[in-house]
Chain A
Amino acid sequence: MSKPNIRGPALLPKTPTGIEGFDEITLGGLPQGRPTLVAGNAGCGKTLFGMEFLARGAMQFGEPGVMMSFEESSEELIRNFSSLGFKVQDLIDRKKLYIEFVAIERSEIEETGEYDLEGLFVRLDYAIKKIKAKRVVLDTIEALFSGIPNEAVVRAELRRLFRWLKSRNVTAVITGEKGIQTITRHGLEEYVADCVILLDNTVIEQVATRRLRVVKYRGSAHGSDEFPFLIQETGISVLPITSLNLEHTVSRERVPTGIERLDTMLDGKGFYRGSSVLVSGTAGTGKTTLAAHFAAAACRRNENVLYFAFEESGNQIARNMLSVGIDLEPFIKNGKLKVHASRPTAYGLETHLATMHKLITSFKPRVIIVDPISNLITSGALAEVKSMLVRLIDFIKVNHITALFTDLVAGEFSEGTDVGVSSLMDAWILLKTLENNGERNRGIYMLKARGIKHSNQIREFIITSKGIKIVDVYTGPAGVLTGTARVAQEAKDEVSQILRNQETERKHRELTRKKQMLEAEIALLQSTYESEEDELKKAIDQEVAGEAALVRQQRKMGAIRSSDVTIPDERIRRQ
């Protein structure tokens, strides 16, 4: 047996199966040259796993394979697998595939004395040599236990068979029925110790989900979870093929929402490219309309948009959106918008996921819309839906696709999602009805937007014939005013505005008048002053003249009296 290998998978040679997703979770495929046990209940896809391993080996990797079937005849196998697109007959004709049907009929067999199962070895050896097989499938070898009376012989021979397979250096897949306490009913895991894969088909709430788990893989790392898988037209596909870690790169590019004022609420630019946006709200709050806006905006930017509709058909959405002025028809026609409408109950969650996966991979959208995610609950248990969405979100994030999910919530004021995925979302727009004054109006609120400075205000929005229009809301002591109350408030505002204007004008006029009055008064005073000044000046002149005359008179008198005192000139001049 192999030594424990902790240095990584590179040292262990592996044989790729070509099965979608399987080689990813096993980091390369099955252990080369060793047997692998694939266990599972009836109808869980063991035979398909084996056949696909061989067919893809032959078609994609040029490795011929032998199918030793203990349950289905070659004709049955050819018929069953040709419908899955494998050209089984062609592969057989080209000696790329050899089907050896081993029928064991217990009723025909009588046991007398000692024997071994050399016949099995001979046949397998012959088949391997004939087409130079590198791959072998034994499906399901447990039939030996029911067909061969002596279990001790079967066990001994199985042990020998697996050793023999290893010595032939063929990569083998051995299928086995799942046991109750053991992995397989007859404990085949005892002999095949290198790699054990468990397939399961469980029904939870009426929805069947197939799962695959790598129970053990000696010498290699592997994904240890239960991975859902699907049986599709092209065979098995194991999901998801997404990153198992949170290491996706992010973009700084912004994606406008298609509603101008919503962009304003988001720092003026919209969401980040590649972010997941949740739009939650009760019935009739306009989730789909918002989604349609987003879709139309992306289409106008020439981006591919994939619209998953779980409630309405594409036509219905297009018709309804036309009534609010969003014409999606041209985008559908020119292929920018692809609407994939399906009932959530149409098939199981995993199939939904796989379908989405496939569409996303083939259509390569830059924006996807899921409307609504809450409807998916009808097709699975809550935990399942959540895990599916986690995987979907992972997948689209890795691919830098901006996604908008709508979510119908039941409660009037619930700030939660019924699916419980809000924590996965980068942005969350809450649409709610605001009820007052006997009417309901729509409010929009940016509950969260990671990494974006966003408005904290509840805005009212109305759906007009030209799409969504976000309007201001009035907040007052009575709360938020919306609808007619808002319109009334607007009217009131208008009236008071007019009144205010009139008042201002009146004041302006009064001011002018006052100024004029004042100016008139000033003019009057001025003229009074001027006339008084005039008179006073005249009086002064007269007085001065009088004084001078007096002085001259006194001088004259002095001269007459021959006085020795002369009156100076200054006295005359000064006055």
Chain B
Amino acid sequence: MHAKKTNRTGLVAKKPGGRVNKMRWDLRLYVAGKTPRSVAAFVNLRKICEEHLESLYSIEVIDLLENPQLAKGDQILAIPTLVRKLPAPIKKIIGDLSNTERVLVGLDIKKNRNTPNY
């Protein structure tokens, strides 16, 4: 269903492969300026993605101080907010993503990846 969709501009965009080709994580991180919390969130997110999603993800960072009009689209209130655009349904994770366990639950990564021994 997403085969024809063009990739969003992001930090990383990689083609999914193998049997999980329909699983692709399209993530968006909303921050407001380079606050320590924002930086921490980005660092935490990168780490989690690298560890659990390998190359099946893309992260787009949106700084609302630069583009305040973008806050409306994803209904952003809390900063930082991580939005999982794909796979559907949309999920929102708020906070600096320091609790890895909760991030994985929030992104539904553990369940979909079937890795109980993680």
Where the two chains meet, the residues of A that have a C-beta atom closer than 8 Å to any C-beta of B are 100-105, 108-120, 122-123, 125-126, 144, 147-148
* Residues of chain B within 8 A of A104, CB atoms compared: 75, 77
With both chains docked as a complex, state the minimum distance between the C-beta of B100 and any C-beta of chain A, in angstroms: 8
* Residues of chain A within 8 A of B65, CB atoms compared: 122
B13 part of interface (Cβ distance < 8 Å): no
How distant is the Cα of A123 from the Cα of B92 in the complex, in angstroms? 18
A110 touching B71 by the CB < 8 A rule?
no
A119 touching B81 by the CB < 8 A rule?
yes
How distant is the Cα of A144 from the Cα of B77 in the complex, in angstroms? 9
* Residues of chain B within 8 A of A123, CB atoms compared: 68, 71-72, 76-77
B96 touching A114 by the CB < 8 A rule?
yes
A110 touching B98 by the CB < 8 A rule?
no
In the complex formed, the residue of A with least CB distance to B71 is A123
A109 touching B68 by the CB < 8 A rule?
no
Where the two chains meet, the residues of B that have a C-beta atom closer than 8 Å to any C-beta of A are 30, 32, 37, 40-41, 44, 64-65, 68-69, 71-72, 75-81, 89-99, 102-103, 105-106
Interface core residue of B64, B79, B94, B96 (most chain A CB under 10 Å): B94
The 9 A-B pairs at the shortest CB distance, nearest first, are namely A110-B106, A113-B95, A126-B68, A113-B98, A118-B79, A113-B96, A119-B76, A112-B102, A112-B95
How distant is the Cα of A148 from the Cα of B94 in the complex, in angstroms? 9
How distant is the Cα of A116 from the Cα of B36 in the complex, in angstroms? 12
With both chains docked as a complex, state the minimum distance between the C-beta of A53 and any C-beta of chain B, in angstroms: 22
* Residues of chain A within 8 A of B41, CB atoms compared: 113
B79 touching A109 by the CB < 8 A rule?
no
Report 19 cross-chain contacts, Cβ distance below 8 Å, ordered by A residue. A102-B77, A108-B92, A109-B93, A110-B91, A110-B94, A110-B103, A110-B105, A111-B95, A112-B98, A117-B77, A118-B78, A118-B79, A119-B64, A119-B71, A119-B81, A122-B71, A123-B72, A123-B76, A144-B77
* Residues of chain A within 8 A of B97, CB atoms compared: 112-113
Given the interface contacts A118-B64, A126-B69, does A110 sit within 8 Å of B93 by beta carbon? yes
B78 touching A116 by the CB < 8 A rule?
yes
How distant is the Cα of A105 from the Cα of B92 in the complex, in angstroms? 9
Pick the contact of B37 from A101, A102, A115 — CB < 8 Å? A115
* Residues of chain A within 8 A of B102, CB atoms compared: 110-112
Interface core residue of A103, A109, A122, A148 (most chain B CB under 10 Å): A122
* Residues of chain B within 8 A of A114, CB atoms compared: 37, 95-96, 98
A-B contact count (CB 8 A): 100
A115 touching B71 by the CB < 8 A rule?
no
A112 touching B77 by the CB < 8 A rule?
no
In the complex formed, the residue of B with least CB distance to A121 is B32
A112 touching B99 by the CB < 8 A rule?
yes
How distant is the Cα of A520 from the Cα of B44 in the complex, in angstroms? 154
* Residues of chain A within 8 A of B103, CB atoms compared: 110, 112
* Residues of chain B within 8 A of A148, CB atoms compared: 77-78, 94
A117 touching B92 by the CB < 8 A rule?
no
Known interface pairs A102-B75, A113-B95, A115-B95; 9 further A-B residue pairs with C-beta atoms within 8 A, sorted by A's residue number: A104-B75, A111-B102, A113-B96, A115-B37, A115-B81, A115-B96, A116-B79, A117-B78, A126-B69
* Residues of chain B within 8 A of A112, CB atoms compared: 93-99, 102-103, 106
How distant is the Cα of A122 from the Cα of B77 in the complex, in angstroms? 9
* Residues of chain B within 8 A of A117, CB atoms compared: 77-79
Given the interface contacts A113-B96, A114-B96, A116-B78, does A108 sit within 8 Å of B64 by beta carbon? no
Interface core residue of B30, B41, B64, B99 (most chain A CB under 10 Å): B64
Given the interface contacts A119-B32, A119-B71, A123-B72, does A111 sit within 8 Å of B94 by beta carbon? yes
How distant is the Cα of A122 from the Cα of B67 in the complex, in angstroms? 9
How distant is the Cα of A147 from the Cα of B78 in the complex, in angstroms? 11
A119 touching B78 by the CB < 8 A rule?
yes
A126 touching B78 by the CB < 8 A rule?
no
* Residues of chain A within 8 A of B80, CB atoms compared: 115
How distant is the Cα of A115 from the Cα of B81 in the complex, in angstroms? 8
How distant is the Cα of A114 from the Cα of B69 in the complex, in angstroms? 24
* Residues of chain A within 8 A of B95, CB atoms compared: 111-115
* Residues of chain B within 8 A of A102, CB atoms compared: 75, 77
With both chains docked as a complex, state the minimum distance between the C-beta of B27 and any C-beta of chain A, in angstroms: 13
Given the interface contacts A112-B102, A114-B37, A126-B69, does A120 sit within 8 Å of B77 by beta carbon? yes
B78 touching A115 by the CB < 8 A rule?
yes
B75 touching A115 by the CB < 8 A rule?
no
* Residues of chain B within 8 A of A101, CB atoms compared: 72
In the complex formed, the residue of B with least CB distance to A129 is B68
* Residues of chain A within 8 A of B37, CB atoms compared: 114-116
A100 touching B72 by the CB < 8 A rule?
yes
How distant is the Cα of A14 from the Cα of B111 in the complex, in angstroms? 58
* Residues of chain B within 8 A of A116, CB atoms compared: 37, 78-79
Pick the contact of B90 from A108, A113, A120, A126 — CB < 8 Å? A108
In the complex formed, the residue of A with least CB distance to B76 is A119
* Residues of chain A within 8 A of B76, CB atoms compared: 119, 122-123
How distant is the Cα of A144 from the Cα of B75 in the complex, in angstroms? 13
Given the interface contacts A104-B75, A104-B77, A119-B81, does A113 sit within 8 Å of B99 by beta carbon? yes
In the complex formed, the residue of B with least CB distance to A70 is B77
In the complex formed, the residue of B with least CB distance to A103 is B75
A126 touching B77 by the CB < 8 A rule?
no
How distant is the Cα of A102 from the Cα of B69 in the complex, in angstroms? 13
With both chains docked as a complex, state the minimum distance between the C-beta of B48 and any C-beta of chain A, in angstroms: 10
* Residues of chain B within 8 A of A103, CB atoms compared: 75
In the complex formed, the residue of A with least CB distance to B83 is A108
How distant is the Cα of A108 from the Cα of B91 in the complex, in angstroms? 5
How distant is the Cα of A538 from the Cα of B19 in the complex, in angstroms? 187
In the complex formed, the residue of B with least CB distance to A144 is B77
In the complex formed, the residue of A with least CB distance to B98 is A113
* Residues of chain A within 8 A of B44, CB atoms compared: 113
How distant is the Cα of A119 from the Cα of B105 in the complex, in angstroms? 23
B68 touching A118 by the CB < 8 A rule?
no
* Residues of chain A within 8 A of B93, CB atoms compared: 109-112
